[in-house]
Amino acid sequence: MQSKLWVFRDVNLTQRASLAQALSISPAIASLFLARGVTTPDEATTWMSLQAPHDPFLIPDMEQAVERLHRAVTNQEPICFYGDYDVDGITATSVYMSFFGGLGAQVRAYVPHRLREGYGLNLDAVQRLHDEGISLLVTSDCGTTSHKEIALAAQLGMDVVVTDHHHTDEEMPPAVAVLNPHRAGALYPFRGLCSAALAYKVSQAYQLRYGVAGVPLESLLDLVALATVADVVPLHDENRNFVREGLAQLSRGARCGVRALKQVAGVMRECTAETIAFKLAPRINAAGRLDDAMLGVRLLTTDNPTEAQQLADRLEQLNRERQRIEVDI
């Protein structure tokens, strides 16, 4: 086997020696820290530690979000979880469907068609969901800048909760709650969450506030890990915890959709971040790129092994088609 040649970024040698000595680590590891902007022993220790989860109620509007969700769950109002068509949006929608569906809520998922509808909320979808009886719309990975669409929802009497991690405008849309760690003045100590992680934090906040017994929160971390790696968000702070625990769950394959996806992807050993990036995520993404991203949501939320295998086979077919198209280009 050919050995790999590692090329390190140039760093301050004095800083490297100081960091290596203070932490009893090799100069190579110290160089990696410095290349990532970690320059002091305290910063490095924090970076390496598996921290306790941050308080989800430090995210702006979390209180309003879980209160509105609780009212919908209690009154059996129809809730629609509306996601983007990439891995983050698909998995975030699946987190919501798994958690709130597990509480017995009336839930449905909606992911817009990439070619016919484009990214994010659109006016036709808002009108259609209202006509179908949806009274609460919860977005994932979109919505922060959807002022017209959310204004229409409000005009129709439909409440909207936005969960999004894209950078925000100064003016917020007229939603019941806008959960975004990038909001000005946000007190949440980590801004690197993807939308699936935000969906997890909403679920965590809901469980903390109302003490409900439903889907165990830790069972959602396989989905959060998929999105965290696929969306290339910073792999430190809470994200390290999410990926560490999520990779263990992906390796066990407790979710039948994950087992089927691993089988078609030829993943026989334990899952790593590389497994997600090059094996699992491209197959989930292929659904939104070439067909219907709802295939991914159905795969990740089904309890039926036969359906899971059929959906995984379809994603494998779409991924091979994507590869052929890229070769032709």
Residue 99 belongs to domain with CATH number? 3.90.1640.30
> Cα(81)–Cα(53) distance, rounded to whole angstroms?
24
Residue-wise pLDDT tens digits, 304-321: 999 999 999 999 999 999
- The reply to whether 232 falls in a domain is yes
Residue type for 148, please?
A: K
Is there a domain that residue 22 lies in? no
For residue 85, is it within any domain? yes
**Ranges of residues in the chain whose predicted pLDDT is under 70:** 1-3, 46-51
| Whole-number Å distance between alpha carbons of 255 and 312 | 13
Distance CA 180, CA 141 (A): 10
Q: How many domains does the chain have?
A: 1
In a domain, 297, yes or no: yes
pTM, to two decimals: 0.90
* 19 falls within a domain: no
* Residue 10 within a domain: no
Q: Alpha-carbon Rg of the chain, whole angstroms? A: 21
What is the extent of the structural domain holding 154? 56-328
Span 240-268, pLDDT tens digits: 999 999 999 999 998 999 999 999 999 98
Question: What is the pLDDT, as a whole number, of residue 1?
Answer: 45
